[in-house]
């Protein structure tokens, strides 16, 4: 987590800030915003490079109360800096007054996890999503359901700081990658689409790719044409759509229920 010249306990705020600025400029670094994101990053094996806090005593109390399993690691890495300095370094400081920098997994490593067969749980595919917060919520859902991974297509970076914040650091609990539609992992393709058959008629296999489109445009014709099945989540007439994260949650619950029943 630290260089050999100075561990966190020897670093003053100035050195910590200098190291933070240097690390934050590296493309392989991702911002971990807030205590809950930090605890999840550590729990699921994320490589944390640096931790800053505006209140070390408050951080210690949080760690002891909410994450005793990683409390020692949190405090060993933490350096206290003035709150004003933390606000300069982090665009939107978390109410818990703590931020960290972690190493983003390589695309090759994430792809290897996604391609590994057999799978015990589906892969969620978000086709050209537009809302960063929605993607973060989907990552959090995926981690909770034990999904193999979350894949996005299109321009949105699923490791954007806003997505990581929305995912509460749970990117490290599942594989998260942006891929071209032609690079999707192997497995039967189930596209969630209003014109499909009711999802209740189908048991979703563990190796499924569950494809969800944006609320505005739905799934692209490119992926619809490749679908092994089009499935619809029943919805009240005259209601336009469900929120993306809500749709993913319902789809994963259906998979989980079928898995448990089998």
- CATH fourth-level superfamily of 13-103: Ribosomal protein L30/S12 (3.30.1330.30)
78-113 residue pLDDT tens: 999 999 999 999 988 899 999 999 999 999 999 999
- % of the chain beyond a pLDDT of 70: 94
**Residues, the chain:** 262
**Whether the Cβ atoms of residue 224 and residue 193 lie closer than 8 Å to each other:** yes
Q: Spell out the domain ranges in the chain.
A: 13-103, 107-261
Identify which has the larger pLDDT, 43 or 259.
Answer: 43
Q: Are 177 and 149 in contact (CB under 8 A)?
A: yes
Correct CATH for 107-261 of 1.10.10.60, 3.40.1280.10, 3.20.20.80, 3.30.1450.10: 3.40.1280.10
């Amino acid at each position: 987590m630290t260089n050999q010249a100075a561990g966190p306990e020897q670093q003053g705020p100035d050195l910590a800030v200098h190291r933070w600025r240097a690390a934050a400029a590296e493309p392989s670094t991702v911002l971990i915003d807030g205590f809950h994101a930090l605890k999840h990053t550590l729990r699921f094996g994320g490589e944390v490079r640096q931790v800053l806090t505006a209140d070390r005593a408050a951080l210690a109390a949080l760690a002891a109360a909410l994450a005793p399993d990683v409390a020692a690691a949190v405090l060993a890495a933490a350096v206290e800096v003035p709150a004003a300095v933390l606000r300069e370094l982090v665009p939107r400081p978390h109410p818990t007054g703590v931020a960290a920098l972690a190493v983003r997994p390589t695309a090759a490593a994430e792809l290897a996890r996604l391609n590994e067969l057999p799978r015990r749980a589906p892969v969620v595919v978000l086709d050209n999503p537009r809302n960063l917060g929605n993607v973060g919520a989907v990552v959090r859902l995926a981690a909770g359901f034990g999904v193999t991974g979350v894949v996005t297509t299109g321009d949105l970076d699923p490791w954007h700081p806003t997505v990581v914040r929305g995912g509460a650091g749970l990117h490290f609990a599942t594989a998260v990658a942006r891929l071209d539609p032609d690079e999707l992992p192997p497995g039967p393709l189930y596209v969630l689409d209003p014109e499909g058959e009711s999802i209740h008629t189908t048991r979703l296999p563990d190796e499924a790719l569950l494809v969800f489109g944006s609320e505005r445009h739905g799934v692209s014709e490119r992926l619809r044409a490749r679908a092994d099945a089009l499935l619809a989540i029943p919805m009240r007439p005259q209601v336009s759509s469900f929120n993306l994260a809500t749709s993913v949650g319902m789809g994963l619950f259906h998979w989980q229920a079928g898995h448990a029943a089998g």
